[in-house]
Chain A
Amino acid sequence: MSDVKFSKEHEWLKVEGDVATIGITKHATEMLGDIVFVELPDIGTSVEKDGTAGVVESTKAASDVYTPISGEVVENNQSIVDDPAKINSDPENEAWFFKLKIKDKSEIDSLMNKEEYEKFAKESAS
């Protein structure tokens, strides 16, 4: 899909109208290992581009989740809080993290497309 964008912190973002759905990439889950805990931002919270917006914990370590753009949280995915293993099995689809009401659409322009991200992920892994 052409409207999926990616950040250097390994988040993906999908835009529908003025709402963006955000999650972490498959590559991120592979680096993290088995995810066993997730903390999401509350609905109504304002988050700033590149600021922390949650935590994922694997059996090995805790990692912050960053938001690639600014906005207000309008929804969060409780199903991954109840069953964090979903993040490993379907990270770029069912296991989205939160939805934002987009504050500034121009922030999206600086993000990578799928091809660019795949190249970036490959390079940062080696």
Chain B
Amino acid sequence: MGIKKTSLNKLHQTYQAKFVEFAGYEMPIQYKEGIIEEHKFTRKQSGIFDVSHMGQLFIYGKGDLTEDLEKIFPLDLKKLKLNHSKYSVLMNDDAGIYDDLIITKIEDGFLIILNAACKENDFKILSRLLNNKYKMVLDEKRSLIAIQGPKSAEILNQIINDTINLSFMTGGWFKYENQKIFVTRSGYTGEDGFEISVNNDLAEKFTKELINKGAKLIGLGARDTLRLEAGLCLYGHELDIKKTPVESNLKWAMSRERISNGGFIGSKIISEQITNGIKQIRVGIKPEGKVIAREKTKIFNDTELLIGEVTSGTFGPSVNGPVAMGYVDNKFSKKDTKVFLEIRGKKYPANICGLPFYKKSYVKGVNK
């Protein structure tokens, strides 16, 4: 099987993208201007991200579906209002994370956005867990386009009227060229923005319109620096099957009530970890100098004890310095704990810090 291409592949080429293979897809890592300019443009203006490689899983069903999904996810899905979204995780019995995802209640069921590298496996797991009781569609006919940054609401609203009135983490069906498109106010950059699910045959036309209104295509490189500054996890780095949501500091992605009442996959381990504590936890790490601590960099405390490892590290263009996330021994996870990062045989000082590195500017509600 060859490498897969999204419906925007030609457009990426037109804008001189440098491509990389990501989860079996040929995806743009950057365009002509480079990661730093693209990153800054997103923070100041509006960036377009082709995230069509991600899975768009529609699960259709009434009645039991919500209850059945509550046996899987640590969420209050019964209380989730129509067109409202939640960030959460799919776990195994040991609370190890198969994937992180966004689930939205839609009229005839749920829409779940999954990571590209995990989507096929997630589909299998969910089909099995739901005993093939419901119609499930991992929709390859739709593209997913994110528009992120402070000017995005204004730009998108010129093309799709009324999207500006969506609140953060809500969505709905809109019309574009007489076709139904699903728009949610969400994203993964720490900026206000939207994700738009649009038919493949309209994806290029829609993206060109966004460009004409002043948005620019942004590659996966800047997407990574943006999400890292925003303190957001990337599956395969911060999250994997050996980490639980308690360890990865994602307690907020689970409902408090559901944690205390249990009854979802992994709930035993979750409540055990919350009661008895955990050995390691995800933290932010700010190197003191300019040196960049990449993934797998070893972290030591001030008595040269190995206490953890970096899971993502890069240069943060908006922070204007290096930023990293990683896991450390819980005893050394307090903010401002001095640590040392071993890079090319030398130890460099750094501090455990709160997340995000860059303050979010999500739109909570809309003032009318």
Chain A residues near B (Cβ < 8 Å): 33-34, 36-37, 39, 55, 57-62, 81, 84-85, 88
Contacts and interface: CB of A to CB of B under 8 A. Distances in A.
Contacts of A34: 34-36, 315
Interface residues of B, number: 16
Q: Is the interface of B mostly helix, strand, loop or mixed?
A: mixed
A60 B221 contact: yes
A55 B30 contact: no
B344 A33 contact: no
Q: Which of B225, B292, B294 has the most CB of A within 10 A?
A: B292
A33 B30 CA distance: 9
B290 A37 contact: yes
B322 interface: yes
Contact of A59 (B225, B290, B291): B225
Nearest to A62: B294
Interface of B: 29-30, 34-36, 221, 225, 290-292, 294, 314-315, 317, 322, 344
B294 A59 contact: no
B234 to A, nearest CB: 15
A25 to B, nearest CB: 17
Given A59-B35, A88-B34, 10 more contacts: A33-B30, A33-B35, A36-B322, A37-B290, A55-B344, A59-B314, A60-B35, A60-B221, A84-B290, A85-B36
A108 B291 CA distance: 32
Nearest to B222: A59
B312 to A, nearest CB: 12
A62 B221 CA distance: 14
A84 B29 CA distance: 21
B37 to A, nearest CB: 8
A60 B291 contact: no
29 contacts: A33-B30, A33-B34, A33-B35, A33-B221, A34-B315, A36-B36, A36-B292, A37-B291, A37-B315, A37-B322, A39-B291, A39-B344, A55-B344, A57-B292, A57-B315, A58-B35, A59-B35, A59-B36, A59-B221, A59-B225, A59-B314, A59-B315, A59-B317, A60-B29, A60-B221, A61-B294, A62-B294, A85-B36, A88-B34
